[in-house]
Structure 1
Amino acid sequence: MTAEPHLSETALVEEATKKSGLVWVSGPGAAPETRALWHVWVDGAAHLLGDGPGEQPLPAGLGDGATAVVTVRSKDKGGRLLAWTARVTALEPHGEAWETAVAELKGKRLNAPDAETMTDRWARECRVLRLDPVSADTRPPEGSLAAPPLPTEATTRRPVPDALPRLLFRRRKRDS
């Protein structure tokens, strides 16, 4: 990692992050939690929304004054393009920076159940974080960056019933 990103690195961080729909953000700590998060790029920084009901969970320990590592994927190949270190700032609800970021976040938020009042809900129940680039690492990664998926209640825990293929095959045969 370089101490200060050069102009070309800053431009690369901005362009790659803007084009990527998701970024992987690692929180601080000895064993950082990494999550794929949607974001927007506003005023030279990535902005995240989360930790509220129905919104994306943010990595543990990610808060005001923390340092995070942001990994950006290549839009065409899906692999790691670059990683950059960010200084995290929590934005105060209804402040000027918060309003600017939320205006962009609102346009990117898909399938919101309360589209008309979601910004009020965000101010009450969610956090908006600004991730300012501090340094960039444009070198290719060493080794695999694969990680096991995080635990979720959405995981199927039972095998497919033995009779299911026969039922599907029989139904398809009758329909012909």
Structure 2
Amino acid sequence: MSEEVGERIATPLVDEAVKKAAVAWVSVAGGPAYALWCLPLDGALLVVTGPGEQSAPGLADADAAEVTLRGDHGGRIVTWPARVTRLRPGTEEWAAAAPLVAAKRLNAPGPVSDLMGRWAAADCALNRLTPAGAPVAGADLPAESLAEQPRAATVVRATRTPFRLHKVRRR
């Protein structure tokens, strides 16, 4: 009986966190969590990955993932298991979801129809992440820090000395 009560209490937490989500940390098969922009729709999160989009190794072919949602100040709100469903071009689900996701995509090159066409033609995946179990909440969260060293990235640059327009005189 206590499990049933706990799930009823946790479900509104997941529902409310999903409604307000713009970024989700998604981990596949116990791997590292990747921060992905997402769009909440009907109690689930929609995520696009692939060439020219965000990277989430293994998500396109996964059946399950773990999703962590955080608040405005970076603190974890809830972590929950998700069922991953890939939406395929040409299906009703794709026709309903892809225009919504494409319209919310920041800095999209070209109109929504071109972006959707690129997603369909390229090896991009539009995935629906649906809650699929009891969330980890409250006392079940780890007490220790889960901070990790940043992953190596090609975008890291060396810090340069600031440019000076004129010579600074000391008195």
The TM-score with structure 1 as length reference comes to 0.80
> Which position in structure 2 is the counterpart of 1:134?
132
Instruction: Quote the Cα distance in structure 2 between the aligned partners of 1:43 and 1:20.
Output: 13
> Which position in structure 1 is the counterpart of 2:116?
119
Residues 1:102 and 2:103 aligned together? no
> Which position in structure 1 is the counterpart of 2:63?
66
Code of the aligned partner of 1:46: L
What is the CA distance between 1:65 and its match in structure 2? 5.0
Instruction: Quote the Cα distance in structure 2 between the aligned partners of 1:48 and 1:159.
Output: 33
Instruction: List alignment gaps of at least 5 residues for structure 2.
Output: none
Residues 1:42 and 2:38 aligned together? no
Instruction: Quote the Cα distance in structure 1 between the aligned partners of 2:62 and 2:156.
Output: 34
Code of the aligned partner of 1:130: R
Code of the aligned partner of 2:87: L
What is the CA distance between 1:98 and its match in structure 2? 1.4
What is the CA distance between 1:102 and its match in structure 2? 1.1
Structure 1 94/10 Cα, relative in aligned 2: closer, same or farther at 3 Å?
Answer: farther
> Which position in structure 1 is the counterpart of 2:7?
6
What is the CA distance between 1:159 and its match in structure 2? 4.9
Identity %: 37
What is the CA distance between 1:172 and its match in structure 2? 7.4
Checking the alignment, whether the CA contact within 8 Å between 1:17 and 1:23 is kept in structure 2 is: no
Superposition CA RMSD, Å: 2.5
Instruction: Quote the Cα distance in structure 1 between the aligned partners of 2:167 and 2:34.
Output: 41
The number of equivalent residue pairs is 162
The TM-score with structure 2 as length reference comes to 0.82
Structure 1 103/159 Cα, relative in aligned 2: closer, same or farther at 3 Å?
Answer: closer
Instruction: List alignment gaps of at least 5 residues for structure 1.
Output: none
Structure 1 153/141 Cα, relative in aligned 2: closer, same or farther at 3 Å?
Answer: same
Instruction: Quote the Cα distance in structure 2 between the aligned partners of 1:64 and 1:155.
Output: 29
> Which position in structure 2 is the counterpart of 1:21?
22
